[in-house]
Structure 1
Amino acid sequence: MQKSGFLLLMMLFLGFNVVAKNKIDRVEPSFWWTGMKNTELQIMVYGENISELRPEINYPGVQLERSVLVESPNYLFLYLNIDKTANAGTFDINFTRKGKKVLSYNYELKERREGSAQRKGYNTSDVIYLITPDRFANGNPENDNVEGFTEQANRSDLNGRHGGDLEGIINHLDYIDDMGFTALWLNPVMENNMTRTSYHGYAITDFYNTDARYGTNDDYLRMVQEAKKRGIKIIIDMILNHCGSEHWWMSDLPTSDWLNFQDGWKPTTHLRETNVDPYASDYDKKMHADGWFVESMPDLNQRNPLMADYLIYNTIWWIEYADLDGIRMDTYPYPDKDFMAEWTKRVMTEYPHFNMVGEEWSVNPAIVSYWQKGKHNTDGYVSCLPGVFDFPLQEALVKAMNEDDKNWGQGLIRLYSTLADDFLYADPTQLVTFPDNHDMSRFYTQINEDFDLFKMGMAYIAVTRGIPQIYYGTEILMTNPNSDSHGEIRSDFPGGWTGDEVNAFTGQNLTGDAKEAQDFVKTLLNWRKGSKEVHEGYLKHFAPASGSGIYTVFRYTNEKAVMLVMNKNAEKKQIDLTHYKEEVIGSAVSGTNVITGEKVLLGDSSVSVNGRSFLLIEIKL
């Protein structure tokens, strides 16, 4: 017998206590704030055999309500009550054994920013710019490859990491501002330390830390601060449905039900209809909600109350820490739907004027509207989610641009018919409208690279109800002509890397159409910034006559009207103003062309609109 083994046996024989090693590896969240509306806080402590120890706190206004043990001995879930009387400061969480301190963690309570609880989110006056950070601009090449991160940069690989980062975004905030964008949504920047295809950000391996290849949490906070100096709001992209298969907890899960199908992955059916189907089987509901997106994205079990709290406190931590203005929630109908109701309620209770939008990728407005706050659902489901993405309108826009208007029910009539479905929504003004996004072919590709249709479609997005979102590069006619692969759709923004021949930030070597498109979008969005009629006005539209190829939309207040006339015909058309005068513009005799600044006479009975074009006019009433 070896000497060490003999000594251990002797110690046991003599009655010595052999104590397991204890340590703390993680505390999440690592700090919190005083003055929160919800005085409860969950803290997850992770470390070797931490459950053997008894936590103790002695700080005025802070009470350790309970400590929850789980199946893994390496976790403790602490629930604190932070009274309104608690002051900002630090205190020790002591971990003891038989009254003797073994470990200690110094926990900080920060003071909230002034007005934090009353923060106002993005709204209908905003236009959101969506960026895939890895593909926008490489501001700091030194973080392209980081020790300890598996996937290295390889710009030649469409599905690899290309090196875009937070510094690159900071460096080009002036471009974003100058273009007229007022809000910024980044695809997730939290750590994705996966072996491959990690650039998209949707396989999170650490919910509290920025991926080091983008920068640090401090860099993220600096980006937010620099954006706010320019009046640009920040919308964070979050995922509650799943994590990455390389998440740090995957090697030591807290409980046997931390994940859905924890014993072995089963793919989701993607049958989102099961959430609303009055005849849906329990089996179909389970296979949709509990199934995994892919094998590398384990599905989180939000019915586990510890997991549910973990995700809620993580959300609130990011809002408070980074001074955020909104949330884009990924795959909204895939997590447990009752949890999603609780999540939205808890967040919106803490921040009543905040805003968030959920992704329900369905072109059926009856399904999309189910998730919006204020909707009276027949099954009694109550949501607190302010906004949803308007996938039905996106599909209608593409079909409206591509189809022959001579066939009844096709072409521009699709836009009219889709807006007519707005009675299904509790508040259609809170829908986020878009020509494309990071998961679908570029708008210019979808409309077969027709520049006239591009301008017409973008004008419609700028004027119709809702909150517009534009994907980076759409403004310069980026395409994906070779395939519909995500790697090509999310191509590098030209000029974001040293040595790029084309630089869209400066205009260097842009094609004529790309530069014209950029200038057009810039004019359109900067005009929209100051249009109260578009932000808050009523909407009235006039149905396209059968085969006419003409569609007219008004946004108006008592003082002013905005008129958009779309003409898909090859030839110029004279538009009869009779009905428009009767219902909206009254006796107004002229208006101003928003794009050209030219005066438009309205005194006659008609106005002309060029073929395959549009007319956008501001009219004082």
Structure 2
Amino acid sequence: MHKRKLTGLLLIVTMVMFCASLKAQKPERIEPPSWWIGFQEPKVQLLVYGKDISTLKPSITYPGVSLERVILVENPNYLFLDLSISPEAKPGKVEIAFKKGTKTISKGSIDLKEREKGSAQREGFNQSDAIYLIMPDRFANAITDNDAVAGMREGLNRQDPYGRHGGDLEGIRQHLDYVQSLGFTSIWLNPVLENDQPESSYHGYAITDFYKVDPRFGRNEDYKKFVDDCRSRGIKVIMDMVFNHCGSMHWWMNDLPEKDWINVFPEYTPSNYRLSTVADPYAAKADIELTTRGWFATAMPDLNLQNELMKNYMIQNSIWWIEYSGLQGIRMDTYPYPDKHGMADWILRLKKEYPDFSVVGETWITQASKLVYWQKDFPNKDGYNSHLEYLMDFPMADALTRAFNEGEGWDTGLQRLYDVLADDHLYRYPLNMVVFAENHDMGRMAHFYGGDLRKMKMAAAFVATVRGIPQWYYGSELLMEGDGAKSHGAIRQDFPGGWPGDQINAFTKEGRTDSQNEMVNYLSALFQYRKASKVLHEGNTLHFVPLNEVYVYFRYLGDEAVMVMMNNNDSHDRMVDMSRFEEILKNYGSGTEVVTGQKYNLDTITVPAKSALIIELHK
């Protein structure tokens, strides 16, 4: 080939390669995509991802925003940028120039916004609330066009208990009247963020993008609309978040920023799931490491909150969702499994920005002596303070699965409920326990109560009247069954009537059986009453040791009092001599049962077999 032609060809190839390299050196992702003026912490840390992006020098020229630090990591495809935002900054698009020398190679940006008025003062969920738990994929399908999304790994298969069934945010939004009719004031949705996994991704706990709602549920804008509509109705929304793990198909898994971004082992190593090791003063370090660093499942890589960049990424993500969508609560999945110090840092950061915001931790520990380690201000021997105010009351849930199936004993039947309450001396904040009989991981009540409607009504009565914040699992008012120990899919059923073409619509009275309507009506009466009962929200508790399987307890506040009487005998009504409760009843002369409206004097009261009476007391 002629030398001049060869030189020209080489020049063209070089120019093409140079242009390709310039094209590659651009940010593919900047997270978070937006931030706000006016936070107590004026800094935000951006994760920037792009091919060889670290070879470029970022710069910002935006009034009130300064680039304070550029952090390089092991992987040249990442940059972490610390921005400081002045209170005087104005909303707008903050452009970031990525330069080589003086030449700008590429640009990126984030949106800078004003905070919603009153955002810092928002009220979280509290004892005045009752929580309705919904699995979004299984509640209602309003938009069938998003049931399967092109390019996503898993499509629709409603016949598979572990498949995608098509429920979405709009379906839930369209049935808010139903939720309100039951008396619930808060909604907890299982995670709604993208789970682009090849199978069994319907539950939401294998997140593949922490800044994106799963398109099969809707868009980010749809989630915000859902929260806005709930807030306009006086319903608080609790977002289910996961700091312990992500999905194996998360976008960063093929190109991690740093080797210790996740907890890595030579081969797959699961957690030992022994949460007692974290608080155990005698625990071997190897056991603690396995508990907190082992993976939850093969499809869920374990996130390393000891990595400061990772910890800050997750903390900022939670703040982003609170501010973006207007949340009033967070339920944190697998709370004790990540690094406990990182989790405490998270709570402190949230409280700095939202002093009255509420977080409840999933702390699946059924012994109060071990569970109290995780509640704020407990005097732990190691000096650890979680700063977490609200806990899921797993000791009570464990007792509720058994109590109504057993007869009288020193530690069986209703004595189980008494004993769990007797452990409240351990908690710094016993009113901050979220009380439930079941959830999306446990068996359905109708399963472990053998389909006995009487037992289910007793459980509902107890959850609605005992100290703390009640939580109910969607569909149990329809007597849905399912053994969670055998199949999670079996306890995450579709709500009848939530899908186009469903032959039965259980959202309506006409679409329910007599037994279902009996349960729905009872539940509604309970929680509509509770909604306006300050004594059930804030009241003290006085209870009496169960005798003959009759358990009587009182909630009282000032001059107000509610008496709950439970008869756990299977076939015997019990006539109760009320003189035993003189220390509190001396202040009252009569009472009204809150569900039936029946009037009672306070000499003797007959409690029907397998039932509960909830009696508002009168002077």
TM-score range, shorter chain: over 0.9
Q: Indicate yes or no: 2:431 matched with 1:429.
A: yes
| Equivalent residue number for residue 582 of structure 2 | 581
Taking structure 2 as the reference length, the TM-score comes to: 0.96
User: What letter corresponds to residue 48 of structure 1 in structure 2?
Assistant: K
User: What letter corresponds to residue 592 of structure 1 in structure 2?
Assistant: T
| Equivalent residue number for residue 80 of structure 1 | 83
SS of residue paired to 2:509: coil
Distance 1:17 1:349 in 2: 47
User: What letter corresponds to residue 91 of structure 1 in structure 2?
Assistant: V
User: What letter corresponds to residue 518 of structure 2 in structure 1?
Assistant: E
Distance 1:308 1:496 in 2: 39
The residue correspondences of 1:258-407 to structure 2 (distance < 5 A) are 258-261=261-264, 264-405=267-408, 407=409
- TM-fit CA distance, 1:356: 0.7
Counterpart contact for 2:360–2:388, Cα < 8 Å = yes
- TM-fit CA distance, 1:400: 1.1
Q: 1:280 and 1:587, CA in 2 relative to 1: closer, same or farther beyond 3 A? A: closer
| Equivalent residue number for residue 484 of structure 1 | 486
SS of residue paired to 1:77: strand
User: What letter corresponds to residue 357 of structure 1 in structure 2?
Assistant: V
Distance 1:483 1:41 in 2: 43
Distance 1:158 1:587 in 2: 54
The residue correspondences of 1:41-60 to structure 2 (distance < 5 A) are 41-60=44-63
| Equivalent residue number for residue 209 of structure 2 | 206
Distance 1:5 1:200 in 2: 60
Counterpart contact for 1:524–1:595, Cα < 8 Å = yes
| Equivalent residue number for residue 63 of structure 1 | 66
| Equivalent residue number for residue 494 of structure 1 | 496
| Aligned length, in residue pairs | 614
Distance 2:464 2:386 in 1: 28
User: What letter corresponds to residue 240 of structure 1 in structure 2?
Assistant: F
Unaligned stretches of 5+ residues in structure 1: none
User: What letter corresponds to residue 608 of structure 1 in structure 2?
Assistant: T
Identity across aligned pairs (percent)? Answer: 49
90-99 vs 313-322, greater mean Cα deviation: 90-99
User: What letter corresponds to residue 424 of structure 2 in structure 1?
Assistant: D
Counterpart contact for 1:444–1:479, Cα < 8 Å = yes
Distance 2:207 2:229 in 1: 25
For residues 183-226 of structure 1, the C-alpha deviation after alignment (integer angstroms, 9 at most, x for no partner) is 00000000000000000000000000000000000000010011
Q: 1:68 and 1:264, CA in 2 relative to 1: closer, same or farther beyond 3 A? A: farther
SS of residue paired to 1:543: strand
Q: Indicate yes or no: 2:558 matched with 1:558.
A: yes
Counterpart contact for 2:332–2:360, Cα < 8 Å = yes
| Equivalent residue number for residue 469 of structure 1 | 471
SS of residue paired to 1:302: coil
Q: 1:568 and 1:41, CA in 2 relative to 1: closer, same or farther beyond 3 A? A: same
| Equivalent residue number for residue 441 of structure 1 | 443
Q: 1:587 and 1:315, CA in 2 relative to 1: closer, same or farther beyond 3 A? A: closer
Distance 1:417 1:49 in 2: 61
User: What letter corresponds to residue 532 of structure 2 in structure 1?
Assistant: G
Distance 2:527 2:2 in 1: 78
| Equivalent residue number for residue 596 of structure 2 | 596
The residue correspondences of 1:1-16 to structure 2 (distance < 5 A) are none
- TM-fit CA distance, 1:145: 0.6
SS of residue paired to 1:402: coil
| Equivalent residue number for residue 462 of structure 2 | 460
Distance 1:465 1:58 in 2: 54
For residues 108-146 of structure 1, the C-alpha deviation after alignment (integer angstroms, 9 at most, x for no partner) is 210001110111100101110000000000010110011
| Equivalent residue number for residue 519 of structure 1 | 521
SS of residue paired to 2:360: strand
Distance 2:116 2:494 in 1: 36
- TM-fit CA distance, 1:90: 2.4
User: What letter corresponds to residue 561 of structure 1 in structure 2?
Assistant: A
Counterpart contact for 2:444–2:480, Cα < 8 Å = yes
- TM-fit CA distance, 1:435: 1.0
Match of 2:36 among 3, 9, 33: 33
- TM-fit CA distance, 1:70: 1.2
Distance 1:525 1:13 in 2: 73
Q: 1:240 and 1:5, CA in 2 relative to 1: closer, same or farther beyond 3 A? A: farther
Counterpart contact for 1:502–1:508, Cα < 8 Å = no
- TM-fit CA distance, 1:84: 2.2
234-243 vs 56-65, greater mean Cα deviation: 56-65
- TM-fit CA distance, 1:507: 2.5
Distance 2:134 2:290 in 1: 32
Q: Indicate yes or no: 2:162 matched with 1:164.
A: no
Counterpart contact for 2:26–2:107, Cα < 8 Å = no
- TM-fit CA distance, 1:579: 3.4
Distance 1:114 1:291 in 2: 42
Q: Indicate yes or no: 2:610 matched with 1:612.
A: yes
SS of residue paired to 2:249: coil
- TM-fit CA distance, 1:12: 11
Counterpart contact for 1:268–1:287, Cα < 8 Å = yes
- TM-fit CA distance, 1:473: 0.5
| Equivalent residue number for residue 200 of structure 2 | 197
384-393 vs 67-76, greater mean Cα deviation: 67-76
- TM-fit CA distance, 1:7: 6.0
SS of residue paired to 2:481: coil
User: What letter corresponds to residue 46 of structure 2 in structure 1?
Assistant: I
SS of residue paired to 1:184: strand
SS of residue paired to 1:261: coil
- TM-fit CA distance, 1:457: 1.1
User: What letter corresponds to residue 578 of structure 1 in structure 2?
Assistant: S
SS of residue paired to 1:55: strand
Counterpart contact for 2:157–2:164, Cα < 8 Å = yes
- TM-fit CA distance, 1:481: 6.2
Counterpart contact for 1:25–1:47, Cα < 8 Å = yes
Counterpart contact for 1:265–1:298, Cα < 8 Å = no
Counterpart contact for 1:440–1:484, Cα < 8 Å = no
Distance 2:6 2:160 in 1: 54
Distance 1:85 1:620 in 2: 57
Distance 2:159 2:473 in 1: 22
| Equivalent residue number for residue 567 of structure 1 | 567
Distance 1:610 1:272 in 2: 41
- TM-fit CA distance, 1:479: 0.5
For residues 334-374 of structure 1, the C-alpha deviation after alignment (integer angstroms, 9 at most, x for no partner) is 10111111111111221110101001111111221111112
- TM-fit CA distance, 1:257: 1.0
SS of residue paired to 2:260: coil
Counterpart contact for 2:441–2:484, Cα < 8 Å = no
SS of residue paired to 2:212: strand
Q: 1:5 and 1:451, CA in 2 relative to 1: closer, same or farther beyond 3 A? A: farther
Distance 2:190 2:6 in 1: 54
Match of 2:153 among 150, 153, 168: 150
Distance 1:285 1:389 in 2: 22
For residues 157-183 of structure 1, the C-alpha deviation after alignment (integer angstroms, 9 at most, x for no partner) is 010000000010011011111111100
Counterpart contact for 1:159–1:197, Cα < 8 Å = yes
Distance 2:7 2:419 in 1: 84
- TM-fit CA distance, 1:11: 8.7
Distance 2:293 2:260 in 1: 11
Distance 1:101 1:611 in 2: 80
Distance 1:588 1:269 in 2: 53
User: What letter corresponds to residue 303 of structure 1 in structure 2?
Assistant: Q
Distance 1:186 1:566 in 2: 32
Counterpart contact for 2:576–2:606, Cα < 8 Å = yes
Distance 2:14 2:89 in 1: 50
